[in-house]
């Protein structure tokens, strides 16, 4: 239906707005929608992987961290012979037992300086260099002909360069009257960028109204993940989404701060699973952070910016219940530049592996989505 006709109609009754949400207006995909969901959670601020997937048998660990490691080593939940999980991650632990959680240790993006902002941009671009206009998830949904959702006020870099992605975020303001929207659609006829954002905003609003998701407007992570799951499991809902959670830059008081942060992450992911319902079985959740933190604790019971970190994979489609990644060791001579965990595998290559196994992207498609990043020959996805 063309826009002018819509505006005409809307004068009569906009409540009967027949326009479907942005993702159902897309040209119908070549491959039938398989319903396989891909969700990326970006932890902004650099999660300390050593305080999350604890290298419990590495004898250097305790020496590097006299203040913050002891309690953790006692309370961490055993995963494999060599690793244990932070006790706040209770849901992830139960998923590990159910073989739906798969941590990968000593992962790096290839970004080798220590700026949060550049590190995040680098990760979101997925190109091996910073590009503010093209993101890896945007290229992935373009390639897979699926629809993306950023749970965010504006489009994060990861979703830039796709017409198939939109944004959603809760608001506490009263709803604007429908005729104002109609007038604005007309007002923006000569302003393409404003018009595009307005149309997407309206489509998303409509979808939420249809699904009856009421938001309390308080944007904590659990509510965001819940809404994300609801939107994704709607009929013709997006099959790719991005969530963000900040607060990981623990230069001081790390033990207490990460207790709170990891609890929020764990509960948010549990809410995501619950709201996805049966779709969880076909879901892959990837959790990344821009880089790791120093292996040695600093003088204020925290850690500073580092290099290698971890990647967390979860979901019904994940072939989990094991810890992957080659452990580089924590002896002084084994550290990257004498201070950081040395990455032994590449973030982008793990993503490529997942895109191939979960979404069936071909080598050629992968080369466009994550150029230069070969997939690993290891089964991450059940039957993948």
Partner 1 sequence: MRTYDQTNMAIIAANRFGYGLRAGDDLAPEQAKIWLKQGLMAPMFDKQLPSTTNMMATIAKNRMEKRRLKDDAQQLDSDKKRYPRQQHLAFLEHQFNSLIHAEHTIQWRLLAFFANHFSVTAQNDLMWVLAPALERDAIAPNLLGTFEALLLAVIKHPAMLIYLNNERSFGPNSKLGRRGKGMNENLAREILELHTLGVDGGYSQTDVIELAKAITGWSVANPVKENSAGFRFRDKGHEPGQRQLLGATYRQTGQSQGEAMLTTLARHPATRHHLCVKLARHFIADEPSEILVREMEEAWLQSGGAIKQVMLALIDSAESWKPARQKFKTPHEFVFSSLRLLQPPTIATKRLASALKQLGQQPHKAGSPAGYPDTEADWLGAKALMTRIDWATLAAGRYRRNADELMQTALADSASERTYNKVIRAESRAQATTLLLLSPEFQRR
Q: Which residues bind partner 1 (CB under 8 A)?
A: 44-45, 113-118, 132-133, 152-155, 160, 166-169, 171-177, 179-181, 183-184, 186-191, 193-194, 197-198, 200-202, 204-205, 246-247, 251-252, 298-300, 302, 304-305, 337
* Residue 201 or 384 having the CB closest to partner 1: 201
* Residue 252 or 326 having the CB closest to partner 1: 252
Token pair listed for 12: 């009569």
Q: Tell the smallest beta-carbon distance from residue 252 to partner 1 (Å).
A: 5
* Residue 139 or 160 having the CB closest to partner 1: 160
Token pair listed for 152: 């965010």
Token pair listed for 331: 């002896």
- Angle in degrees, CA 220, 282, 38, rounded to 5: 55
* Residue 202 or 354 having the CB closest to partner 1: 202
* Residue 133 or 235 having the CB closest to partner 1: 133
Q: Tell the smallest beta-carbon distance from residue 214 to partner 1 (Å).
A: 16
* Residue 37 or 114 having the CB closest to partner 1: 114
Distance CA 265, CA 89 (A): 8
Three-state SS string across the chain, please? CCHHHHHHHHHHCHHHCCCCCHHHCCCCCCCCCCCCEEEEEEECCCCCHHHCEEECCCHHHHHHCCCCCHHHHHHCEECCCCEEECCCCHHHHHHHHCCCEEEEEEEECCCCCCCHHHHHHHHHHCCCCCCCCCCHHHHHHHHHCCCEEEECCCCCHHHCCCCCEEEECCCCCCCCCHHHHHHHHHHCCCCHHHHHHHHHHHHHHHHHHHHCCCCCCCCCHHHHHHHHHHHHHCCCCCCEEEEEECCCCCCCCHHHHHHHHHHHHHHHHHHHHHHHHHHHHHEEEEEEECCCEECCCCCCCCCCECCCEEEEEECCCECCCCCECCCCCCCHHHCECCCECCCCEEHHHHHHHHHHHHHCCCHHHHHHHCCCCCCCCCCCECCC
Q: Tell the smallest beta-carbon distance from residue 118 to partner 1 (Å).
A: 6
* Residue 200 or 266 having the CB closest to partner 1: 200
* Residue 87 or 247 having the CB closest to partner 1: 247
Q: Tell the smallest beta-carbon distance from residue 249 to partner 1 (Å).
A: 8
Contact 39, 283 (CB under 8 A): yes
Q: Tell the smallest beta-carbon distance from residue 82 to partner 1 (Å).
A: 28
Token pair listed for 168: 């959603």
Q: Tell the smallest beta-carbon distance from residue 13 to partner 1 (Å).
A: 15
Q: Tell the smallest beta-carbon distance from residue 301 to partner 1 (Å).
A: 8
Q: Tell the smallest beta-carbon distance from residue 114 to partner 1 (Å).
A: 7
* Residue 34 or 206 having the CB closest to partner 1: 206
Q: Tell the smallest beta-carbon distance from residue 257 to partner 1 (Å).
A: 11
């Amino acid at each position: 239906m063309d826009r002018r006709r819509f505006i005409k109609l809307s004068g009569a009754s906009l409540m009967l707005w027949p326009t479907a949400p942005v993702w159902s207006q897309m040209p119908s995909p070549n491959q039938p929608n398989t319903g396989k969901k891909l969700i990326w959670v970006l932890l902004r601020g650099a999660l300390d992987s050593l305080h999350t997937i604890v290298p419990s048998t590495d004898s250097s660990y305790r020496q590097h961290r006299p203040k913050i490691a002891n309690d953790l080593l006692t309370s961490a939940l055993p995963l494999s012979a060599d690793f244990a999980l932070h006790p706040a991650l209770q849901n992830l632990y139960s998923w590990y037992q159910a073989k739906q959680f798969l941590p990968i240790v000593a992962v790096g993006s290839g970004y080798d300086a220590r700026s949060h902002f550049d590190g995040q941009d680098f990760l979101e671009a997925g190109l091996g260099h910073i590009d503010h206009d093209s993101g890896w998830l945007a290229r992935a949904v373009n390639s897979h002909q699926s629809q993306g959702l950023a749970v965010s006020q504006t489009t994060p870099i990861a979703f830039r360069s796709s017409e198939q992605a939109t944004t959603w975020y809760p608001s506490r303001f009263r709803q604007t009257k429908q005729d104002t929207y109609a007038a604005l659609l007309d007002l923006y006829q000569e302003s393409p960028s404003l018009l595009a954002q307005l149309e997407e905003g309206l489509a998303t609003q409509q979808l939420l109204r249809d699904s009856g998701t009421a938001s309390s407007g308080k944007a904590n992570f659990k509510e965001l993940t819940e809404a994300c799951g609801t939107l994704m499991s709607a009929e013709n809902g997006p099959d790719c989404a991005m969530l963000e959670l900040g607060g990981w830059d623990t230069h001081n008081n790390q033990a207490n701060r990460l207790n709170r942060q990891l609890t929020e992450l764990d509960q948010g992911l549990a809410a995501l699973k619950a709201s996805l319902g049966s779709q969880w079985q076909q879901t892959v959740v990837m959790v990344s952070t821009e880089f790791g933190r120093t292996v040695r604790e600093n003088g204020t019971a925290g850690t500073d910016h580092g290099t290698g970190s971890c990647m967390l994979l979860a979901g019904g489609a994940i072939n989990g219940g094991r810890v992957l990644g080659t452990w580089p060791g924590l002896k002084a001579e084994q550290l990257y530049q004498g201070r950081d965990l040395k990455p032994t595998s590449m973030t982008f290559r793990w993503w490529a592996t997942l895109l191939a196994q979960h979404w069936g992207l071909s080598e050629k498609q992968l080369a466009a989505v994550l150029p230069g990043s070969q997939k690993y020959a290891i089964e991450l996805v059940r039957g993948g």
